[in-house]
Amino acid sequence: MLKSHELIGFMSPSLAADILNFAFAEDKPTYKATLAAVAEARRVRPVYLLRQPRAQRDPLILNTLTRPSLDAAAATLIRAWLLKKYKAMLADFLDALGIPHQDGVVETLPEKVEDDKLRNAVETLLGKYPAEVVAVYLHAFNEMNEVNWENLTRLLNEDSRLQVGG
């Protein structure tokens, strides 16, 4: 099971850049929080990073987010991106599993789901969305929730389409 900082490190550079660009353009509070966490880890002030050109700053931010100590910041960035840009994908997954939700957000998850339902839900996502985005979502879903489904973990480890960066 990949942690959020590992997801940032293993995903393609273009997807990582897309996530950061989305936060910069569409979710200023998340971008500022990410920038502040990176600045603290690098022992500089956020304004120092802001003065750098984005072409220089963004790779530095993404590289720093791969540190284990910045897992919470990486998780926040990924979660915000998924909830705001891919809300429909989250809803499609939960609908396919028959799990009640509100705009892709669930209060409590069942302890387990049936293998067939899970496989069908994953196939639905892979048919509608880019495979790497689906892989990041499912890894994040599995890692960020208090309930870990053994069959999802197994599927993430065995299905080559769900390998992040692969």
Identify whether residues 77 and 49 lie together within a single domain. Answer: yes
For the stretch 51-84, pLDDT in tens is 999 999 999 999 999 999 999 999 999 999 999 9
Identify whether residues 119 and 158 lie together within a single domain. Answer: yes
- pLDDT band, residue 1 (cuts 50/70/90): confident
Identify whether residues 78 and 145 lie together within a single domain. Answer: no
Identify whether residues 96 and 79 lie together within a single domain. Answer: no
| 144/70: higher pLDDT | 70
Burial of 41 (0-12, 13-18, 19+ CB in 10 A): middle
Among 85, 106, 135, give the residue marking a domain's end.
85
Site of tokens 């302890």: 111
Q: Given this model, what pLDDT does residue 102 score? A: 86
For the stretch 77-129, pLDDT in tens is 999 999 999 999 999 999 999 999 887 788 888 998 999 999 999 999 999 99
Domain containing 147: what range? 87-162
| 101/11: higher pLDDT | 11
Identify whether residues 53 and 93 lie together within a single domain. Answer: no
Identify whether residues 75 and 148 lie together within a single domain. Answer: no
Distance CA 51, CA 3 (A): 30
Q: At what angle do helices 71-85 and 87-97 cross, to 10 degrees?
A: 80
Identify whether residues 117 and 107 lie together within a single domain. Answer: yes
Among 85, 101, 127, give the residue marking a domain's end.
85
Which residues, at least 6 apart from 34, have a Cβ–Cβ distance to it below 8 Å?
20, 23, 61, 65, 73, 76, 77
The single-letter code of the amino acid at 93 is F
Domain count, the chain: 2
pTM of the model: 0.92
Please state, rounded to an integer, the average pLDDT across all residues of the chain.
Answer: 94
Check pLDDT > 90 for residue 32.
yes
DSSP assignment string, 45-70 = -HHHHHTS-HHHHHHHHHHHTTSGGG
